[in-house]
Chain A
Amino acid sequence: MTAARALAPAHPALAVRRPGRGLLLAGLAVGLFIAMLLSIDIGATAAGLGDLPGLLHSRWTGAALDAGQQVDWLVLLDIRLPRAVLGLLVGGALGAAGAVMQGLFRNPLADPGLIGVSAGAALATALVIVLGDGALAALVTPLGRWAQPLAGLAGSFVGALLLYGLATRRGATSIAIVLLGGIALSAFAGALTGVLVFVANDRELRDLTFWTLGSLSGASWPGIAALLPFVAIGGLCLPLLATTLNAFLLGEADAYHMGAPVERAKRLALLATACLVGATVSAVGIIGFIGVLVPNLLRLVIGPDHRVLLPASAMLGAALLLLSDTAARTIAAPAEMPVGVVTALVGAPCFFWLLLRESRAVG
Chain B
Amino acid sequence: MLTLEQAGMIRGGRAILSDIDCTLERGAVTVFVGPNGAGKSTLVRLASGELKPTSGAVSLDGHPLADFGPRELAARRAMLAQANDAAPGFTVAELAALGLRLLPSPPGAVGIAALVERALDHVGLTPVAGRSIAHLSGGERQRAHLARVLAQLWAGEARHGPGLLLLDEPIAAQDLAHQLRLLEIAKAHARSGGAVGLVLHDLNWAARVADRIVVLRQGQVYADGPAATVLTRSMLADVFDVDLEPGAVPPAGRPFVLPQLARVRAVLSRHDEGDCHVYRHEPLQGAA
CB-CB under 8 A from B112, the residues of chain A are: 16
In the complex, residue of chain B having the shortest beta-carbon distance to the beta carbon of A3: B110
Q: How far is the CB of A106 from chain B (nearest CB, A)?
A: 8
* Cβ-defined contact, B94 with A258, below 8 A: no
CB-CB under 8 A from B50, the residues of chain A are: 253, 256-257
User: For chain B, which range describes its interface: under 10, 10 to 19, 20 to 34, or 35 or more residues?
Assistant: 35 or more
Asked whether A363 is an interface residue with its Cβ less than 8 Å from the other chain, the reply is no
Interchain CA distance A299-B98 in the complex, whole Å: 17
CB-CB under 8 A from B182, the residues of chain A are: none
8 Å CB interface, A230-269 against B: 243-244, 246-247, 249-251, 253-254, 256-262
| Cβ-defined partner of B90 (8 Å) among A251, A260, A262, A303 | A303
Q: How far is the CB of A31 from chain B (nearest CB, A)?
A: 23
Q: How far is the CB of B114 from chain A (nearest CB, A)?
A: 7
A305 with B79, Cβ < 8 A, contacts A14-B130, A259-B102 known: no
Asked whether A11 is an interface residue with its Cβ less than 8 Å from the other chain, the reply is yes
A254 with B85, Cβ < 8 A, contacts A4-B109, A7-B113, A13-B129 known: yes
Asked whether B78 is an interface residue with its Cβ less than 8 Å from the other chain, the reply is yes
CB-CB under 8 A from B113, the residues of chain A are: 4, 7-9, 14-16
* Cβ-defined contact, A250 with B78, below 8 A: no
Interchain CA distance A257-B84 in the complex, whole Å: 12
Q: How far is the CB of B54 from chain A (nearest CB, A)?
A: 14
Q: How far is the CB of A224 from chain B (nearest CB, A)?
A: 35
In the complex, residue of chain B having the shortest beta-carbon distance to the beta carbon of A243: B101
Q: How far is the CB of A56 from chain B (nearest CB, A)?
A: 45
The listed residue with most A CB atoms (<10 A of its CB), out of B78, B109, B128, is: B109
* Cβ-defined contact, B89 with A260, below 8 A: no
In the complex, residue of chain A having the shortest beta-carbon distance to the beta carbon of B166: A257
- CB contacts between A and B, total, < 8 Å: 115
Q: How far is the CB of A306 from chain B (nearest CB, A)?
A: 11
Q: How far is the CB of A277 from chain B (nearest CB, A)?
A: 24
In the complex, residue of chain A having the shortest beta-carbon distance to the beta carbon of B83: A251
User: For chain A, which range describes its interface: under 10, 10 to 19, 20 to 34, or 35 or more residues?
Assistant: 20 to 34
Asked whether B171 is an interface residue with its Cβ less than 8 Å from the other chain, the reply is no
* Cβ-defined contact, B98 with A250, below 8 A: yes
CB-CB under 8 A from A244, the residues of chain B are: 102
Interchain CA distance A257-B96 in the complex, whole Å: 14
Q: Please, what's the 1-or-0 string for B120-158, where 1 marks a CB less than 8 Å from any CB in chain A?
A: 100000101111000000000000010011001000000
Q: Please, what's the 1-or-0 string for A339-358, where 1 marks a CB less than 8 Å from any CB in chain B?
A: 00000000000000000000
8 Å CB interface, B247-279 against A: none
Q: How far is the CB of B100 from chain A (nearest CB, A)?
A: 9
Asked whether B35 is an interface residue with its Cβ less than 8 Å from the other chain, the reply is no
Q: How far is the CB of B85 from chain A (nearest CB, A)?
A: 5
Asked whether A48 is an interface residue with its Cβ less than 8 Å from the other chain, the reply is no
Asked whether A53 is an interface residue with its Cβ less than 8 Å from the other chain, the reply is no
A15 with B130, Cβ < 8 A, contacts A247-B102, A258-B99 known: yes
* Cβ-defined contact, B81 with A254, below 8 A: yes
Q: Please, what's the 1-or-0 string for B9-44, where 1 marks a CB less than 8 Å from any CB in chain A?
A: 000000000000000000000000000000000000
A14 with B84, Cβ < 8 A, contacts A246-B101, A258-B74, A303-B90 known: no
CB-CB under 8 A from B45, the residues of chain A are: 253
* Cβ-defined contact, A13 with B81, below 8 A: no
Q: How far is the CB of A286 from chain B (nearest CB, A)?
A: 29
* Cβ-defined contact, A7 with B152, below 8 A: no
8 Å CB interface, A277-328 against B: 299, 303-305
Asked whether B283 is an interface residue with its Cβ less than 8 Å from the other chain, the reply is no
CB-CB under 8 A from A246, the residues of chain B are: 98, 101
Interchain CA distance A17-B112 in the complex, whole Å: 11
Q: How far is the CB of A25 from chain B (nearest CB, A)?
A: 17
* Cβ-defined contact, A14 with B98, below 8 A: no
Interchain CA distance A4-B107 in the complex, whole Å: 12
Asked whether B195 is an interface residue with its Cβ less than 8 Å from the other chain, the reply is no
CB-CB under 8 A from B149, the residues of chain A are: 257
Which positions in A face B, CB cutoff 8 Å? 3-4, 7-9, 11-18, 243-244, 246-247, 249-251, 253-254, 256-262, 299, 303-305
Q: List 8 A-B contacts (CB under 8 A).
A: A7-B113, A9-B117, A14-B126, A16-B116, A257-B48, A257-B99, A259-B152, A303-B89
